[in-house]
């Protein structure tokens, strides 16, 4: 969607929940974090959540979103966004709590929190950016690094005999979460669909049904060392082949 600004230059419409003063944002050119957060901003507008939401961001490039929105925001220690938002939601059930993190934050240092929040069915929304590496620290192997993928710490490609297989987070959450869960995997290559998943995840929390978890396949061209064409090919072919995009749990599907 576009709008005409006073200087007659066409500008993309910005979500009202965005903090305009902090734009253009701080992510590298071609980074997927901005696409995920723009979709989230539009959903916040459409569901009227600006004054109810507490947005938590992790350590990692997700922390660059600490001043991204005009909503109450908390920036946590690495991997601790899920328990911080869980505590806030338990203390004040009127808020809509969103925990935003990278794959390192969610599947490595914070994996115990993700697993246990899912098992307990915490009524919060967790959004995880899967870019197959530790972005902020220079591109080391993450739990989501694909077999054979080269990173700073796997210069010859991830060897599954040595480093094991990548984590499939939504599949794990979908298995352990109790009734009322909403679980999906979207991709920045299909923002319309991804935005739909984010909206359903937040609606699930508004309706108080259970945990909602959305993993978003994302890009990190800086550490992947890819040009635009290679970046999209990696997301659309390699990542999507290994990490299947779609809904894994809806409250209706499990209970019905
Ligand atoms: C307790 C702790 N351990 C390690 C670090 C160093 N560290 C900072 S960011 C980061 C990795 C972030 O990767 P990820 O969570 O995948 O997010 P991304 O930057 O890719 O979005 C690490 C290991 C830290 N800040 N705190
Ligand atoms: S290092 Fe990667 S994840 Fe971090 S801002 Fe740059 S492109 Fe995005």
Give 128-146 pLDDT, tens digit per residue: 999 999 999 999 999 999 9
DSSP the chain: -EEE-TTS-EEEPPPTTB-GGG-S-SSPTT-SHHHHHHHHHHHHHHHT-TTTEEEEE-SSGGGGGTTSBSSEEEE-STT-HHHHHHHHHHH-TTSEEEEEEEHHHHHTTTHHHHHHHHHHT-S-EEEEEE-SEETTTTSEE-TTPPBT--BTTBTT-B-HHHH-PPP-HHHHHHHH--TT-EEEEEETTSHHHHHHHHHHHHHHHHTT-S-EEEEEE---HHHHT--HHHHHHIIIIIIHHHS--EEEE-HHHHH-
Q: Whose CA is nearest to atom 6 of ligand 2?
A: 28
Count of domains for the chain: 1
Q: Is 17 part of any domain?
A: no
Range of the domain at 49: 26-133+148-255
* Higher pLDDT, residue 165 or 3: 165
Ligand 2 contacts CB of residue 59 (under 6 A): no
Q: Is 119 part of any domain?
A: yes
Q: Is 10 part of any domain?
A: no
Ligand 2 contacts CB of residue 205 (under 6 A): no
Could you tell me what percent of the chain has a pLDDT over 70? 96
What's the pLDDT at 256? 44
Mean pLDDT of all residues in the chain?
A: 95
What's the pLDDT at 2? 56
pLDDT in tens, 55-114: 999 999 999 999 999 999 999 999 999 999 999 999 999 999 999 999 999 999 999 999
Q: Is 3 part of any domain?
A: no
Q: Is 9 part of any domain?
A: no
pLDDT band at 3 (very low <50, low <70, confident <90, very high): low
């Amino acid at each position: 969607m576009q709008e005409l600004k006073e200087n007659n230059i066409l500008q993309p419409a910005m979500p009202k929940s965005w903090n305009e003063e902090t734009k253009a944002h701080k992510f590298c050119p071609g980074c997927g974090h901005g696409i995920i957060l723009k979709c989230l901003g539009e959903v916040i507008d459409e569901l009227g959540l600006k004054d109810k939401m507490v947005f938590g961001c992790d350590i990692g490039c997700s922390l660059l979103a600490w001043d991204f929105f005009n909503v109450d925001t908390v920036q946590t220690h690495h991997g601790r966004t899920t328990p911080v938002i869980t505590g806030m939601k338990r203390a004040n059930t009127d808020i809509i709590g969103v925990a935003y993190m990278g794959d390192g934050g969610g599947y490595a240092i914070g994996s115990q929190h993700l697993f246990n929040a899912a098992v307990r069915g915490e009524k919060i929304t967790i959004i995880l950016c899967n870019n197959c590496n530790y972005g902020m620290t220079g591109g080391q192997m993450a739990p989501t690094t694909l077999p054979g993928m080269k990173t700073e710490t796997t210069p010859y490609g991830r060897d599954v005999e040595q480093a094991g297989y990548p984590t499939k987070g939504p599949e794990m959450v979908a298995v352990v979460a109790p009734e009322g869960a909403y679980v999906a995997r979207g991709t920045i290559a299909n923002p319309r669909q991804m935005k739909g998943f984010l909206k359903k995840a937040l609606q699930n929390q508004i309706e108080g049904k259970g945990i909602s978890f959305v993993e978003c396949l994302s890009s990190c061209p800086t550490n992947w060392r890819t040009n635009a064409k290679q970046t999209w090919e990696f997301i659309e072919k390699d990542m999507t082949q290994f990490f299947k995009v779609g809904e894994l749990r809806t409250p209706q599907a499990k209970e019905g």
